A and B are shown apart, each in its own frame.
Chain A
Amino acid sequence: MQAVLYTVKYAQGWSLHISLDLRVDLMWWTALAKREQLSEQIWLVTVAMPLGKALQCCAYMKTFNRSSIQQETWLANIHRFLLDYSHTGASSALGSTYPHSLNTDPVGHLLWDMQMGWTEAGEYVLSSWEEDQLPGNPASSLWKRKLTDEAVYISRKLIGRSLLLNECTAMLHEAGGSLNAWKSSIQLAYLSKHIRLRSAVHPADRQKRQTSLHHRLSARLHTLHSGAAQCLRCGSKRIRYTACASCGSAACGYCEDCLALGRSRECGLLLQAVYPDKRTAQSVNSAWHVLPDTENGSSHPAACSSYDISCTPEAMQQRWRLSPAQTAAAYQALLFLTASAPVSAGQNTTKDFAEQFEYAERRMIPNVPTGNEINEYSTGNKKHIGGFSRFSSFIKNGQNKNHLRLPRFWPGRTRKSITHTNTLRSAGQERFLLWAVTGAGKTEMVFPLLEHAIRTGGRAVIATPRRDVVLELAPRIARAFPDIEIAVLYGGSDERWRTAALTIATTHQLMRFHEAFELVIIDEIDAFPYHNNPMLSYAAAQACSQGGKFIYLSATPSAELQQEIKRGTLAHAKVPVRYHRHPLPVPRHLRMPSLTKCISSKQIPAALRSQLHTSINRGAQIFLFVPRIAWIEDAVELIRSYFPHIYVEGTSSQDPDRMDKVSLFRQQQIRLLVTTTILERGVTIPRSDVYIMDAHDKLYDAAALIQMAGRAGRSMDDPAGGVFFASSDWTVEQKRALSQIRGMNRIARQQGYLK
């Protein structure tokens, strides 16, 4: 889309803004001036330019020292930026099909002056109207009232969100709000700092101040053309530039990585909530009655003053029926959650000053980048639009610390591990890893953490890479928290825009949130979407509020995470034992030729054959994992030829009948299922043995082997299922998997968790 670019002159300097409805801005700045004598002049720079370029221009001009700059220099520099942009091919290559062209008028048009009032051009702008803008007379109080109502509505709906314009309109549409004047109302919400307008694809910011103007300009242009742009929704830097009919640019970038969620584009608006902040809200209120009614907010209904935060491990164990190992780990995680936010430490003296300074700067230059704001909360300030309250404020009261005693009955970790949590991530978001073996019952451990976050007024999300896990989790969590609102989000769910205290979502959905959750629980942190995928970690960090906390769940943490544990930079707790308190089955090695050899010779080696017989005879369901989908069919045939008396099937992620076959396997109709790693997570079969063919294959790392082995012996009735690594080589990864399983069993034994 395109936007208007205009600039405001103050006694102390200049500021540059974009607008979707200039009339709103004119009313805003002139109203503000009447009360506070701030703005002196408003100049129109250009009526229509690609949104992304306009925002880049604003960001660029911010690097100047705006307080001492002369009018000519200021306008000339803006003009120079625009010229440079249009000369570098951005608009020159436009074909006749794309009619918009950049209006680079060398001088801006004066619209309003404090002494003279409206100029002719100003009057013209005020009387103009476009589609999607609020019709009527901007000076009338009716117009302002209507606009304010809509802006408040939009701001409320956007709390905690990061949405593209079309997503935003879809959300509002679903909520029943008719939005025929969205340009005007979004503009007002933006001016009043309730939302932030960004271009969805933006060059990575370079905040470094350089000395000479010329130097800076060339550096700026360098970033414009060196492809350093980033998608602000998913964090990807894979940007493709194409001619764009919606903004008229010949090289408008779009992100190639998050296309599935709707195109994120340089000239596309990304609307992000600004965390409600009382101080700005007040200044806004005094200027124009825009402030959303703060009185009906207060904290959300799930927050509960009677919630007993001084929860003991014993109480927790009882309430959630946890095993001792689960209790110990969950309690450590809970301590991590209640540990006070490190931001507050030792900053009290500087805080007031910073606050004042910031306030002053904001009044002076209304578009100070909000990214570096101190988003801290004082305790008395619990009322916000939409009812959003942070439990950190509560934690900072401090008295609760006395209640948190470490229980005596569990050995090993003490407070020492908690101090590790103070190692910060960049945004002040802390992490804690719950390393729970397969079948440990991690979902139950998460319950007390969710409860804590929500009862203390926060919001929590559980993000998991797989849709079926979301669907499986949702009813369990709903049963555990019958009085709490839950939103279940995944691609294609009809609750897409629902806001609730507790959200269960696929990891992709996190991209639609912005500083929304105090607690972000990420399931299967080692699973493929996170694994070497910066997109999801970007999304997760965006969705977590400043000072919010992460809890990672994993049975097989990545090498990086294990490294961090060794270095002591990642707080964690291990659950070394399964829920039923039997040790993990230790894999046995079956030395045999590779699967392809078996298939081509149509022979199953005697060792494997007799082992399979044993499994069948003991009545176990058999998982037989093969590393390649292409081998499934041959493997099935080979096994059928040896075991004609049982039902053997094969399935993979590409099998349309997969669900049916899995359920037949569950019902013990199918006795032996040949499959690839796709079934390694999630499927639990009561009595089962696991055979991993070609365990030496390079596709299998220790984590994959452990996950597959984890399918065996999960039930109380048959805790000692068999696990077999059938391979021609005994590889490092197999050794690693074995030693990790043995290690967990050892810890479990030492800590007395085993039955």
Chain B
Amino acid sequence: MSIQQLSTLWEGILSYLHPHHSACIACNRHTAMTGRIPGLCHRCIAVIPWIHQPVCRVCGRAVDCPDCRRHAFANRHFTFNRSAVQYDAEMRRWLAEYKYNGNEGYTKVIGGILKEGYYRMQQEMTSFYHHIWYPDLITWVPASPDRLVSRGFDQAGVIAGELAKAIRVPCLPLLIRNRHTVKQSTQGRRERMKNVQGVFSYHPQAQEWLLHVLQRKATSPTDTSLSSAIGIGDRKNISRILLIDDIYTTGSTINSCAKALQQAAVSRGITAEVFALTWSRS
């Protein structure tokens, strides 16, 4: 038996004896992993500031929300936003580690949290609409091309893909970011609103994809039986899109993405409902 074989054997034995025993991505401690959020130890999971009960129905904020009452935001192209967690100092650190330092070990952490946020959202929406709520397809707020090249990955796209895989919903790049926006955090609220106008447009194939997904939905037998059983047979012409991003601040990015998605749908006579699920809410 070679040394190589021997060591793999030992690793096997070890992993059998100590299941999920590895270093926590966020704090580097070697402890048993709980598995609820992959890659995190129980202590780090305990600090996650989940948004259990959104106060604002529109944007999912955990505290009262003047933004959504403001007149300017009446022109909304998405239905609701829900965020998995509040954007506190620790979450900011995790996201920065992931996005800016490029520690892609966080993919499963951020993705895992988003997934929990999704299930929570699904529960809430289901009881709100009185039927089982689920999206027909998933898309995400894309990074700008130069940022994609310099960073090497599109964080929202990656976590959207992970979620789509987990809940078995198609994930498609419906949106395109046209020009590099000036870093939002350096701008005032009004500039931020203005800045994102026309930044996003829909992918040349977006309309086709939307049609395709609708057709598939119409022919899917489980879906018809389910919807007729609940008594909402007419939902077949409505395409429900779940838009993913890492952070919701003023909602202007999500809104302008939703607008582009609506335009794509309208041009083919499709009614689209855009819901947003963001990883964090500032």
Binary contact readout B143-155 vs A (1 if CB under 8 angstroms, 0 otherwise): 0000011111110
Measured CB to CB, the closest approach of chain A to B30, in angstroms, equals 15
Cβ–Cβ < 8 Å partners of B153 in chain A: 242-245
Find out whether the CB atom of A245 lies under 8 angstroms from the CB atom of B149. yes
Binds B, one of A78-86, A252-260, A589-597: A252-260
Question: Are the C-beta atoms of B102 and A263 separated by less than 8 Å?
Answer: yes
Q: How far is the CB of A163 from chain B (nearest CB, A)?
A: 16
A696 to B206, CA, bound (A): 68
Instruction: Give chain B residues whose Cβ lies under 8 Å from the Cβ of A356.
Output: none
**Residue A562 lies at the interface, judged by CB distance under 8 Å to chain B:** no
Residue B173 interfacial (CB < 8 Å): yes
Indicate whether A265 reaches chain B with its CB closer than 8 angstroms. Answer: yes
Contact A263 B101, beta carbon cutoff 8 Å? yes
Contact A242:B149 (CB < 8 A) given known A97-B154, A97-B173: no
A246 CB contact (under 8 Å) in B107, B150, B173: B150
Contact A252-B152, Cβ < 8 Å, known A96-B173, A97-B157: yes
Query: In the complex, which residues of chain A have a beta carbon less than 8 angstroms from the beta carbon of B152?
Result: 242, 244-247, 252, 254, 263, 265
* Assembled-state Cα–Cα distance A632/B179 (Å): 54
Asked if A351 is at the interface of the complex by the 8 Å CB criterion, the answer is: no
Mark contacts of A257-270 with chain B using CB atoms, 8 A cut-off: 1 yes-contact digit, 0 otherwise: 00110110100000
Instruction: Judge whether B104 is part of the interface by a CB distance below 8 angstroms.
Output: yes
A245 touches B104 (CB 8 A): no
Q: Is B53 interfacial (CB-CB < 8 Å)?
A: no
Say yes or no for B105: interface residue by CB 8 A criterion.
yes
- Confirm or deny: A173 has a beta carbon within 8 angstroms of a beta carbon on chain B: no
Contacts of B150 in A (CB 8 A): 166, 246
Render B136-166 as a binary contact track against A, CB cut-off 8 A, 1 for contact: 0000000000001111111001000100000
- Residues of chain B within 8 A (CB-CB) of A247 are 152
A245 CB contacts on chain B under 8 angstroms? 148-149, 151-154
Closest-by-CB residue of A relative to B205 is A96
Residues in B neighbouring A96, C-beta threshold 8 A:
173
Chain A interface bracket (under 10, 10 to 19, 20 to 34, 35 or more): 20 to 34
Query: Within 8 Å of chain A (Cβ to Cβ): is B126?
Result: no
- Residue among A95, A97, A243, A254 making CB contact with B102, cutoff 8 Å: A254
Bound: A260/B104 CA distance, A: 13
Whole-angstrom distance between the alpha carbons of A166 and B104 in the complex? Answer: 19
Q: Chain A at the B interface: mostly helix, strand, loop or mixed?
A: loop
- A206 contacts the other chain (CB 8 A): no
Q: A97-B154, A97-B173, A245-B154 are in contact. Are A254 and B104 (CB under 8 A)?
A: yes
User: What count of chain B residues pass the 8 Å CB interface test?
Assistant: 17
Q: Mark B28-42, 1 if CB is under 8 A from A, else 0.
A: 000000000000000
Tell me whether A240 is interfacial, beta carbon within 8 Å.
yes
Residues from chain B with a CB closer than 8 A to the CB of A260 are 101
Residues of A within 8 Å of B101, CB to CB, are 259-260, 262-263
A247 to B148, CA, bound (A): 11
Interface string of A230-257 (1 = CB under 8 A from B): 0000000000101111110000101010
Per-position binary interface string of chain B over residues 189-228, scored 1 when its CB falls under 8 Å from any chain A CB and 0 otherwise: 0000000000000000000000000000000000000000
Residues of A within 8 A of B148 (CB): 245-246
B residues in contact with A242, CB < 8 Å: 104, 107, 152-153
CB nearest to A265 among chain B residues: B152
| Complex-state Cα separation, A259 to B103, whole angstroms | 7
Bitwise, B104-118 to A at CB < 8 A (1) or not (0) is 110100000000000
Whether B149 and A246, one on each chain, are in contact in the complex, defined by CB atoms closer than 8 angstroms, is: yes
CB–CB A240/B149 < 8 A: no
Q: Which residues of A contact B151 (CB under 8 A)?
A: 245-246
Instruction: Select from chain A the residue with minimum beta-carbon distance to B157.
Output: A97
Q: How far in angstroms is the closest Cβ of chain A from B107?
A: 8
Q: Shortest Cβ distance from B236 into chain A, in angstroms?
A: 27
> Which of A243, A252, A256, A265 touches B103 (beta carbons < 8 Å)?
A256
For residue B144, give the distance in angstroms from its CB to the closest CB of chain A.
Answer: 12
Residues on A with C-beta less than 8 A from B161 are 95
**Chain B residues closer than 8 Å to A240, beta-carbon distance:** 104-105
User: What is the bound-complex CA distance between A247 and B152, given in angstroms?
Assistant: 8
CA A93 to CA B265, docked complex, whole Å: 30
- CB closest chain-B residue, reference A2: B149
Residue interface bits B2-19, CB-to-A below 8 A is 1, else 0: 000000000000000000
Interface residue ranges of A91-107 to B (CB < 8 Å): 95-97
Q: How distant is the Cα of A245 from the Cα of B151 in the complex, in angstroms?
A: 8
A265 to B149, CA, bound (A): 13
Shortest B73–chain A CB gap in Å is 31
- Docked pose: A610 CA to B173 CA in angstroms: 74
| CB within 8 Å for A256 and B173 given contacts A245-B148, A245-B154, A246-B152 | no
Contact residues, A120-178 vs B (CB, 8 A):
166
Task: Give complex CA distance A271, B182 in Å.
Answer: 29
From 195 to 251 in chain A, residues with beta carbon under 8 angstroms from any chain B beta carbon are 240, 242-247
Q: How far is the CA of A263 from the CA of B151 in the complex (A)?
A: 9
A259 to B151, CA, bound (A): 13
Which residues on B sit within 8 Å (CB–CB) of A262? 101
Task: Name the interface residues of A248-296: CB closer than 8 Å to any CB of B.
Answer: 252, 254, 256, 259-260, 262-263, 265
Q: Which residues of B contact A252 (CB under 8 A)?
A: 152
| B105, B107, B154: the one within 8 Å of A256 (CB) | B105
Which residue of B has the minimal Cβ distance to A1? B149
Query: Which residues of the partner chain B approach A254 to less than 8 Å between Cβ atoms?
Result: 102, 104, 152
Residues of chain A contacted by B103 (CB below 8 angstroms): 256, 259
CA distance A446 to B93 in the complex (A): 39
Chain B residues with Cβ below 8 Å from A97 are 154, 157, 173
- In angstroms, Cα B152 to Cα A260, docked, is 17
CA distance A97 to B149 in the complex (A): 12
Give the shortest distance, in Å, between B186 (CB) and chain A (any CB): 18
In the assembled complex, which residues on chain A have CB atoms less than 8 Å from the CB atom of B105?
240, 256
Min C-beta distance of B11 to chain A, whole Å: 14
A420 to chain B, nearest CB (A): 35
Query: In whole angstroms, how far apart are the Cα atoms of A31 and B86 in the complex?
Result: 62
Q: Chain A CB within 10 Å — which of B151, B152, B153, B157 has the most? A: B152
Q: How far is the CB of B137 from chain A (nearest CB, A)?
A: 15
Residue of A nearest to B161 (CB): A95
Interface flags for B68-106 (1: CB within 8 Å of A; 0: not) read 000000000000000000000000000001000111110
A57 to B38, CA, bound (A): 37
- In the complex, chain B residues whose CB is within 8 Å of the CB of A244: 152-153
Closest to A243 in B: B153
How distant is B133 from chain A, measured CB to nearest CB, in Å? 27
Most buried by B among A240, A245, A252, A259: A245
Of chain B, the residue at the smallest CB distance from A267 is B152
* Nearest CB of chain B from residue A43's CB, rounded to whole Å: 28
Q: CB-nearest residue of chain A relative to B153?
A: A245
Q: How many whole Å from A219's CB to the nearest CB in chain B? A: 15
Could you say which residues of chain A place their CB within 8 Å of the CB of B157?
A: 97
Q: How far is the CA of A252 from the CA of B152 in the complex (A)?
A: 9
A95 to B148, CA, bound (A): 14
Interface hub of B103, B104, B148, B150 (most chain A Cβ within 10 A): B104
A256 to B106, CA, bound (A): 12
Which A residues lie within 8 Å of B149 (CB)?
1, 245-246
Q: A35 → chain B, closest Cβ, in Å?
A: 38
* Alpha-carbon distance A166/B100, docked complex (angstroms): 13
Q: Considering the chains assembled together, what is the distance between the CA atoms of A265 and B152 in angstroms?
A: 10
User: Inside 8 A of B102's CB, which chain A residues have their CB?
Assistant: 254, 259, 263, 265
C-alpha gap A95/B149 in the complex (Å): 15
Could you name 11 residue pairs across A and B whose Cβ atoms are closer than 8 Å?
A1-B149, A97-B157, A240-B104, A242-B104, A243-B153, A245-B153, A246-B150, A252-B152, A259-B97, A265-B102, A265-B152
Beyond the given pairs A243-B153, A254-B102, 19 more chain A to chain B contacts, judged by CB atoms under 8 angstroms and listed by A's residue number, are A95-B161, A97-B154, A97-B173, A166-B150, A240-B104, A244-B153, A245-B149, A245-B152, A245-B153, A246-B148, A246-B151, A254-B104, A259-B101, A259-B102, A260-B101, A262-B101, A263-B101, A265-B102, A265-B152
The 7 closest A-B pairs by CB, nearest first: A263-B102, A246-B152, A244-B152, A246-B149, A259-B101, A245-B148, A242-B104
